Amino acid sequence: MMRLPNPPTVAIIGATGAVGREMLAILEERSFPVRSLRLFASPRSVGTRITFRNESMTCEALENTAAADLSSINLALFSAGKGISKEWAPRFRDAGALVVDNSSAFRADPACPLVVPEVNPHALDALHGPAIIANPNCSTILALVAVTPLHRAIGVERMVAATYQAASGAGASAMAELESQAHAFAANQPFDTRIFGRQYLFNVFSHNSAIGDDGYNEEERKLLTETRRMWESSTVRISATCVRVPTLRAHAEALHLEFARATSESEIRTLLAHAPGVRIVDDRAANRFPEPLDAAGGDDVLVGRIRMDPSVPNDRGAALFLCGDQIRKGAALNAIQIAERFL
């Protein structure tokens, strides 16, 4: 596997967005080595000043950046949308950078590993030079951090998921819109609905991604296609229903699992207790289980409501509920964890 210079020269593309700012915070928190840092932003955000390790930095424009000017960058972390990634990620790679992309642009590209370090780190082993690595979708990351240890030990044959996705999954502007609607409600003022085209506060609605002829939206299909790719399985059966809920950050998911063999609640709890990136929150007596407010700002996927599923015969079914911070583990943290493996 290739190695980055230590310390590397790092670029963040989409530095002023919710995920870009979280990447900066995580680089500081984890003391990620950085020789120098360059920040790129959309035209409306060019010139924005951001502080990193007590140094004020100015966001640059991509549009006027020549290939030769990219050659000094060793690591490029992208969180600027699919269109920007498709145009610019190959340019950074071709100039010599390792690229970790948070968009959907390369998730189905067989030349680009799709990676969650707790799930399939071996997918990085074949990289011996500059490359593009894809971050999976946020709901897939959170689910597989929790379910993969069970799959390895027991074999997951079927997963039925219902996701409850926060505004953070649609970016900083969606979070601002939800907050503005709360203020508008308190002031008895009209709601701003430019992002979702409907009232978000006190509402739940189908995920705002495109719906195909089969009735499934893109978010639901990603959970199937990305899981199959990372598990290297064409047979696991997955069905999902994804909705938006009026929480600011941290997604929740209800998962029903069907296993290849009989298991027990005790075995499942033991496997989850030793799973990296998982923290069990399951206090039946106090009725305390994973909640978005508790997951927000944290790195772990919180897992609870662990119980057998009596609708699956022969002790082969279980149900659980999880919450995880979409901006962190569902996006920024996962990208940086990938980068850390190359140091």
What residues are annotated to the active site?
138, 251
Q: Going by C-beta distance under 8 Å and a sequence separation of 6 or more, which residues neighbour residue 253?
A: 139, 142, 143, 161, 162, 163, 164, 321, 322, 323
Eight-state DSSP code of residue 210: P
Q: Which amino acid is at 287?
A: N
Instruction: Report residue 120 as tokens.
Output: 């399939």
Instruction: Report residue 259 as tokens.
Output: 């296993």
Instruction: Report residue 52 as tokens.
Output: 């990193």
Which H or E run includes 280?
strand 278-280
Q: Whole-angstrom Cα distance, residue 84 to residue 20?
A: 14
| Residue 70 φ then ψ, to 5° | -95, -10
DSSP codes joined into one string, 45-73: GTT-EEEETTEEEEPEESTT--HHHHTT-
